[in-house]
C-alpha cells in the first residue's frame, strides 16, 4: 500500500498524540522529561538540515566560479550566519534553558521562603 504524504502526516500526528496521552496520566516529572526529549530531537533534526543545506549552498558557490566574482566575501556566509543564529537559539532552548526547570526553581524558592 502506497502512503501519500497526507496519510503519513496523519499517522505521525496520531502516533504523537498517542504518546502524549500516555504521558499525561503519569508523573509530571516524566511528562516534563518527555517534553525535553521532544525539544532535543527537534534540535537534532534542525542541525542536520542546517549542515546538509549549507554544504549544498557552499558547493554551489564554490563550483559556480567563485573566483571570478569581485566580492570581498562569499555570499553563502549570509545564510550560514543567519540560519546559524536560529540553530544556536534552538540549541539554547533545547539544552540550556528549560521553562519547566525555571518554574520548578521559582516554586522551590517560594516554598522554602514560607
> Residue 45: which domain range?
28-113
pLDDT tens digits along 17-58: 655 555 555 677 788 788 888 999 999 999 999 999 999 999
- Residue 20 domain-assigned (yes or no): no
CB 22 within 8 A of CB 59: no
Residue 48 is predicted with a pLDDT of 98
Number of domains in the chain: 1
Residue 55's pLDDT is 98
Q: Answer yes or no: are the C-beta atoms of 54 and 79 closer than 8 Å.
A: yes
Q: How far is CA 60 from CA 1, 2, 4, 63, 107, in A?
A: 38, 34, 32, 5, 52
Note whether residue 12 is domain-resident. Answer: no
Amino acid at each position: 500500500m502506497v502512503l501519500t504524504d497526507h496519510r503519513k502526516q496523519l499517522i505521525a500526528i496520531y502516533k504523537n498524540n498517542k504518546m502524549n496521552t500516555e504521558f499525561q496520566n503519569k508523573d509530571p516529572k516524566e511528562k516534563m522529561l518527555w517534553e525535553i526529549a521532544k525539544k532535543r530531537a527537534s534540535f537534532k533534526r534542525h542541525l542536520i538540515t542546517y549542515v546538509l543545506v549549507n554544504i549544498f549552498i557552499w558547493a554551489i558557490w564554490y563550483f559556480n566560479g567563485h573566483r571570478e566574482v569581485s566580492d570581498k566575501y562569499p555570499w553563502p556566509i549570509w545564510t550560514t550566519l543567519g540560519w546559524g543564529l536560529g540553530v544556536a537559539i534552538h540549541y539554547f532552548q533545547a539544552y540550556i534553558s528549560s521553562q519547566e526547570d525555571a518554574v520548578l526553581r521559582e516554586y522551590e524558592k517560594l516554598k522554602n521562603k514560607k
